[in-house]
Structure 1
Amino acid sequence: MNKQIVFAICGCLFFVGGFSQTKNLERLLNEIEQNNTELIGYQSYIESQQLENKSANNLPDPQLTGYYLPFGDNITDTYSEYQIAQSFEFPTVYAARSKWNDIKSVQLQTAYAKRRQAILLNAKEFLIELAYFHRQKAIESERRSQGKQVYDQIQELYNKEQVGILDLNKAKIAWIQEQFVVEQIENDIQILVSKLKTLNGDKPLDGLSTQIDLPVEIGSKDDLWLEKLAEDPSLQELKTNEAASLQKMKLEQNKVLPNVSLGYNHQGVKGNFNSGFFGGLTIPLWSSKNKVKAAQVNHEYQQTNTQVITTAINAQFEELFTRYQLMRSKYSEYQITMGNLESEKLLFKAYMLGEYSFMDYYVELQFYRNASDKMLQMEKELHLLQAQLLSHQL
């Protein structure tokens, strides 16, 4: 592997093209959001639930009743009666329930945002891994070519009886192993492309980048946590649940007020009848029992639950941030060290000059290749950690 490939690995996080690659990443995530079947279905579910919640605040249906009593010892004309009535809860109940429905709509939107975040974070992680595999494939393809070159040279030396069959077999096995590595990476790439296609509503994604460059600086821990508190759907869901439980308590308090019935009544016989308006009250002595208390206890639970889950999310955030800082520090050390080395090139020259046997050359080569692979793996993990830390920005 030549010097340019080494620098490509080492400088991947600092390319000038990072901005455009980030824009490309945003474009792909936007496309997935528009085409994801789960999110499309969830939007329809939200609409249906909002309509259902709104219908729960309608007035009861008006009631029409009538009596026609032709039988009996009538000394007058047949008696008849009819009545039209409309009942409804106390007016403040409808206002309280309307506010509750509004908060429930926000709950639905927050649940959607939470699911959207999970899907887009999953897609972003797939895109990061895809870029990693493409970069790894380029490196392994170069190694495969170099392995073929070494094998051809040893084959030539073997034909001249300058090396034995064991060296020839070792060189061939090393070359075959590199071929298998490339094929395995190609298979991994196809799996990721298939997963991304599924997330994109079973539609292929155009313009998949072979490189994802994200900014290394993500801000201070305190600023990032405050941003997460304000924007993260999981934390917003807790606040919304708390607000909904408070409004439910206010609704139950209003439902203690009496229900009202109003109507018109007409009764009597032909030529002799009475008609007029009537009204009534229904006192909810039994139907409202313990409901206010239950709503109050639920609100207290939601307040406690908000504190508990927020503390747990903060602990997870602290752990992720610490891991990110450690990984970034180690990656920087690798980057500085590997960026100043030309170990593989020097090893190859030494081997060509006969200073190393094939086996010694291969052992030394694997050491430096493992170090290079480790740094590339660290870069991927750094990007994945960053994606989790910044998931609230999706």
Structure 2
Amino acid sequence: MITILCFCLLVAVQAKAQQSVADVLQQVAANNKTLQAAAQYREARKLEYKTGLNPEDPLIEYDYFNGQPAEAGNQKEFAVTQRIDFPTAYGRKRRVANLQEAQADYQYAQQRQNILLEAQQTALQLIYLNKQATELERRYQDVEALYRRFQKSTRAGEGNMLDENKARVRLLNIRTTLQANKARRRVLEEKLTELNGGQSIALPDTAFAAMTSVPAFEVLDSLIEVSDPRLKMMEQQAKVQEEKVKLAKALALPKLEGGYRYQSILGQTFQGVHAGISIPLWERRNTVNTQQAYSQYAQAQLEAELVSHRQEVRQTYEEYQVLQESLRNYQELMARPENLRLLEKALRLGEISATEYFMELSFYYDTYDKYLELEAEAQQKAAELLRYTL
């Protein structure tokens, strides 16, 4: 029954930690100043991409000429003209603009993901330090009780000063580590406040949530590839450049001009239609070749990124696997209550000296500290692998 209650309590604590970290990410997503600026920049870029999609403004001209001599009469001319690119160019422009708008969305998504991952890693590191602080405080209480016992024995003439001094040094070491832990927690809390747009976040949790299952590498790599905003942004850039090649070809076609003209001279009027067409000889020379070169560059850059991205994910995944294996090995050694009770009993019965006791205690503490570090590293490595879910 006690085992079941302890298990339920552990699940409740882990659920609380998970909710707390999720709450931190939710607040950062809403309050982060960099993300707010990025959202404004994204909207500005989208408006920019929508500019220049329509034909040029029409041109209205009016001329008035005084005749010399007077009997020559005055001359008036009025014209309205409209110049347009070859009609297919406007469809190409809109397709480029739509692709660029989607690219702006992916760029924002990448910034958001990076900031949320930074907040998540900071929160996980803070939980680790909170857990470490709890363990250090317990150690301090245990060693302090032992120090009081040695002190009492020394004063009663049953102990020796060396044992008392060993306990005092141990207390000093633990107190120093606690102070360093407190300073590191303060730095992380300030970092979370900065990420949260200057609003403080309380995260007192001392237990990690159960890690989300990381799928097998091939599955994970596929999931990341189809959802990673960095890759999506580069894929979109390649599409933009492909469409710009087609746009350059459309813009290289003749431009059309049409309008209305009116002329009045010596009491006679003339009016009619104006039409014109440009001859594409020099203005847009090499523009198609330039855009083709940029398109080839974007495609090559995307292919290189895909290879680099896969290797990066593989390396992180392998590091995570090593951490998981090490963590399982350490978990088998962490029968802390039984080990410490046996060690303390041996000291009390005189089976080991204070020197031996503190040596064994240091060995155990070092092992447990390494276990806590591995647990935190595994949590952070899993978060890095699952960043595509943010």
Q: Same-fold call, TM > 0.5?
A: yes
Q: Which whole-Å CA distance do the structure 2 matches of 1:128 and 1:112 have between them? A: 24
Call closer, same or farther: CA 1:19–1:243 in 2, change over 3 Å: farther
Matched, 1:284 2:280: yes
Matched, 1:171 2:164: no
Aligned equivalent of 1:201: 197
Match of 1:75, SS state, is helix
Number of aligned residues: 385
- Relative contact order (alpha carbons < 8 A, sep ≥ 6): 1 or 2 greater? 1
Aligned equivalent of 1:378: 374
Match of 1:263, SS state, is strand
Call closer, same or farther: CA 1:251–1:175 in 2, change over 3 Å: same
Percentage of matched positions with identical amino acids = 26
Call closer, same or farther: CA 1:269–1:245 in 2, change over 3 Å: same
Aligned equivalent of 1:224: 220
Identify the range of structure 1 (163-172 vs 139-148) with the bigger mean alpha-carbon deviation: 163-172
Cα shift readout 1:293-330 (whole Å, capped 9, x = no counterpart): 11112212222211111111101111111111111111
Matched, 1:389 2:385: yes
| Deviation, structure 1 residue 382 | 0.6
Letter of the 2:283 partner, please give it: S
Q: List 4+ stretches of structure 1 deviating above 4 A.
A: none
Q: Which whole-Å CA distance do the structure 1 matches of 2:17 and 2:62 have between them? A: 76
Aligned with residue 352 of structure 2, among 327, 352, 356: 356
| Deviation, structure 1 residue 267 | 1.2
| Deviation, structure 1 residue 116 | 1.0
Letter of the 1:125 partner, please give it: Q
Call closer, same or farther: CA 1:382–1:207 in 2, change over 3 Å: closer
Aligned with residue 39 of structure 2, among 40, 43, 54: 43
Aligned with residue 269 of structure 2, among 273, 277, 301: 273
Q: TM-score, normalised by structure 1?
A: 0.92
Q: Which whole-Å CA distance do the structure 2 matches of 1:99 and 1:216 have between them? A: 40
Q: TM-score, normalised by structure 2?
A: 0.93
Letter of the 1:98 partner, please give it: R
Identify the range of structure 1 (209-218 vs 34-43) with the bigger mean alpha-carbon deviation: 209-218
Identify the range of structure 1 (98-107 vs 289-298) with the bigger mean alpha-carbon deviation: 289-298
Call closer, same or farther: CA 1:120–1:104 in 2, change over 3 Å: same
| Deviation, structure 1 residue 118 | 0.8
Aligned equivalent of 1:366: 362
Aligned equivalent of 2:320: 324
Q: Which whole-Å CA distance do the structure 2 matches of 1:263 and 1:255 have between them? A: 21
Match of 2:126, SS state, is helix
Call closer, same or farther: CA 1:165–1:24 in 2, change over 3 Å: closer
**Runs (5+) with no aligned partner, structure 2:** none
Q: Which whole-Å CA distance do the structure 2 matches of 1:20 and 1:175 have between them? A: 32
Matched, 1:210 2:214: no
